[in-house]
Each structure stands twice: as C-alpha cells, then as structure tokens.
C-alpha cells in the first residue's frame, strides 16, 4: 500500500511523524529531511518554494499517496504555490494548528512563535482572522530556539533567560493560548510553559495535523487496510549519522537506517 510522504528542512518534522504513527499505526511512511540545506527559517520565500518543489518531486518518486509538509516555514510561505502545482493531496501544519488554537482560546488573544520566515509571512495571523475576525494575535520570532533544540539545550538558566526576552510581548499582550509554530519548539515546552505560566495553553500542531491526514485519507478511501506491519523509511540529503543522532529526541524512538540521497 502506498505510503504517506512527509518532508521537513531537517529533523524537526519527526515530531509530526511521531503523532502520525500514534494515530495511524497501520500507515507506511516515507520521511525526507533536507539536511544539506537546513535551516529554511532564515531563507527567502522564493528559495523555500524551490527547495520544497524538489523535495516533493523526490517523495512522488517514492509513490506517496499524500504529502504532509511538516515544516512551518514551508507551510507559511510556499503552501498555496505547491498545492496549485501538484495533484497529490498536500497537508501543511498551519491550518490544523490555527483550528486548535481558535478552539482553545477563552479570551480571544492568541500568541504565535516561529522562525523569522514564518513570522514574516503572517500566515498564522491571516488564517486565524479568516476563521474568526474577532481574534487578537501577536507573533514573535524566536530564532535561537532551533539551535537550542538541536544542541539539546532544553533547560537551564541560559535558555530560560532568552525565552523570557523572546516571550515578553506575549505575556504583555495577555495571551491565553500560544501556537508553537515550529516543529522544533515542542522540545522546549517545559521552558516555554515556565515563562508563560501554567494557565497558558500551548498548541503543538502535530496532533491536529495527524487528525487532518486521517480525515483526508478516510474521505478519499486511501486508508491502509493491509494487516502487514507498517514500514517507516527515512531519507536525508546529508549527514545520516547527525540525523539519526538527533532523531530519537524528536521521534521519541530511535531511527534506524536513515539513507542519504543526492537529489538536491
């Protein structure tokens, strides 16, 4: 049975794979991490679109039935274009996260944190207001969170202090709900929670993304009904050892046999 394709600029998208495996244990998955060109968050829209198209073409070669864009930067800046190019269903991470946040907020004040690219695109704010124009949104970029997560610096005084600086506008604005608009950020949940306070709800898109994927597969009659054990394959454009070393932190389980491909 055809696999679900998932891609990300690097390793962060594995937080989405983790949730897909939980909700769709019978589905085969092919993951591609563009580790030769990671990170995307600081790159221009035009370049992110070009890289995304190359990644999708690789996944299509693997005969995937649906593509999940497990990268907030790509979902923010490139999704409309790539959806218009390809016939395969493509699911991004913005809409599912927005839906969950709008549902969760009580005081209609939502915070969004992400890479510079994601924040600059304003994609979250636009979609939130489209769903409910009465919402108030404040977005901030937290560029050091990605290197912190990749270096495993998930707690301690330094991270806490920098998180306080980044998240100050959110506290000031009185948000009760914050979207973790980058697949790396769930790793920093404890620190973010500490700074924002325990009454603020953190929205991690992964759960809603997997729900959306499940809904589309069911609607299209594409759910895998084989009884065979599902296969999970991992491809990267560089450094499979580096990827494998980090993978467990994001996936919650070790990855074996990540393969390097030269498509980029």
Complex with a second copy: residue 50 or 85, whichever CB lies closer? 50
Q: How far is CA 263 from the centre of its chain?
A: 22
Q: Stretches 70-78, 132-140, 142-150, 221-229: which one binds a second copy (CB under 8 A)?
A: 142-150
The answer to the question of residue 244 lying near a second copy (CB under 8 A) is no
How many of the other CB atoms lie within 10 Å of CB of 68?
29
Per the annotation, the verdict on 182 as an active-site residue is yes
| Bond prior to 172 in cis (omega within 30° of 0) | no
Alpha-carbon distance of 161 to 219, in angstroms, equals 46
- Which of 133, 157, 221, 254: binder of a second copy (CB under 8 A)? 157
Torsion angles phi and psi, residue 41, rounded to 5: -60, -25
Verify binding: residue 242, a second copy, rule CB under 8 A: yes
In sequence order, what DSSP letters do the residues of 72-110 get, joined into one string?
Answer: HHHHHHTHHHHHHH-SS-EE-SHHHHHHHHHHH-SSSEE
- Is residue 180 within 8 A of residue 189, CB to CB? The reply is yes
171 is a contact residue toward a second copy (CB under 8 A): no
Selected binder of a second copy within 153, 216, 223, 261 (CB under 8 A): 153
Q: Is 71 a catalytic residue?
A: yes
Of 37, 83, 207, 214, the one binding a second copy by CB under 8 A: 37
Q: Binders of a second copy among 7-36, rule CB under 8 A?
A: 35-36
Phi-psi region of 63 (alpha: psi -120 to 50; beta: other; left: phi over 0): left
Segment 47 to 86, residues that bind a second copy, using CB under 8 A: 47
Q: Which residue in 140, 182, 192, 246 is the catalytic one?
A: 182
Nearer CB in complex with a second copy: 104/160: 160
How many residues touch a second copy under the rule CB under 8 A: the total is: 24
Output b/e per residue, 231-258; b: 16+ Cβ within 10 A: ebebbbbbbbebbbebbebbbeeebeeb
Separation of alpha carbons 114 and 121, rounded Å: 11
- Distance from the first to the final alpha carbon of the chain: 27
Which residues pair with residue 66 across a beta bridge? 4
Q: Which residue shows structure tokens 């016939």?
A: 87
Shortest gap between Cβ of 66 and a second copy (angstroms)? 28
Q: Does 144 bind a second copy (CB under 8 A)?
A: yes
- Which residue out of 17, 71, 79, 137 is catalytically annotated? 71
What is the nearest approach in angstroms of a second copy to the Cβ of residue 258?
A: 13
* From candidates 4, 28, 43, 188, binder to a second copy by CB under 8 A: 43
- Piece in contact with a second copy (CB under 8 A), picked from 97-105, 121-129, 155-163, 175-183: 155-163
* Shortest distance in whole angstroms from residue 106 CB to a second copy: 33
The answer to the question of residue 148 lying near a second copy (CB under 8 A) is yes
Binding residues for a second copy (CB under 8 A) = 35-38, 42-44, 46-47, 143-144, 147-148, 151, 153, 157-159, 161-162, 237-239, 242
Q: State the catalytic residues.
A: 71, 182
């Amino acid at each position: 049975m055809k696999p679900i394709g998932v891609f990300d600029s690097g390793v962060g998208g594995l937080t989405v794979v983790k949730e897909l495996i939980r909700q769709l244990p019978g589905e085969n998955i092919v993951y591609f991490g563009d580790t030769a060109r990671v990170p995307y968050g600081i790159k221009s829209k035009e370049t992110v679109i070009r890289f995304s198209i190359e990644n999708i073409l690789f996944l299509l070669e693997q005969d995937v039935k649906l593509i999940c864009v497990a990268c907030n930067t790509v979902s923010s800046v490139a999704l409309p274009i790539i959806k218009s190019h390809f016939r395969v269903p493509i699911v991004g991470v913005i809409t599912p996260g927005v839906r969950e946040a709008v549902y969760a907020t009580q005081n209609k004040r939502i915070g969004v944190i992400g890479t510079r690219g994601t924040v600059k695109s304003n994609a979250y704010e636009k979609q939130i207001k489209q769903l409910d124009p009465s919402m108030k949104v404040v977005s901030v970029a937290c560029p050091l969170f990605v290197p912190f997560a990749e270096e495993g610096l998930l707690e301690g005084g330094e991270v806490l202090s920098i998180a306080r600086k980044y998240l100050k506008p959110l506290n000031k604005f009185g948000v009760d709900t914050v979207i973790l608009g980058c697949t790396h950020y769930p790793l920093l949940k404890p620190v973010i929670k500490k700074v924002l306070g325990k009454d603020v709800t953190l929205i991690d898109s992964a759960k809603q993304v997997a729900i959306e994927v499940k809904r589309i597969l069911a609607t299209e009659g594409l759910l895998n009904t084989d009884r065979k054990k599902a296969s999970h394959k991992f491809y990267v454009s560089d450094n499979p050892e580096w990827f494998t070393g980090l993978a467990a932190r994001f996936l919650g389980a070790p990855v074996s046999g990540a393969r390097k491909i030269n498509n980029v």
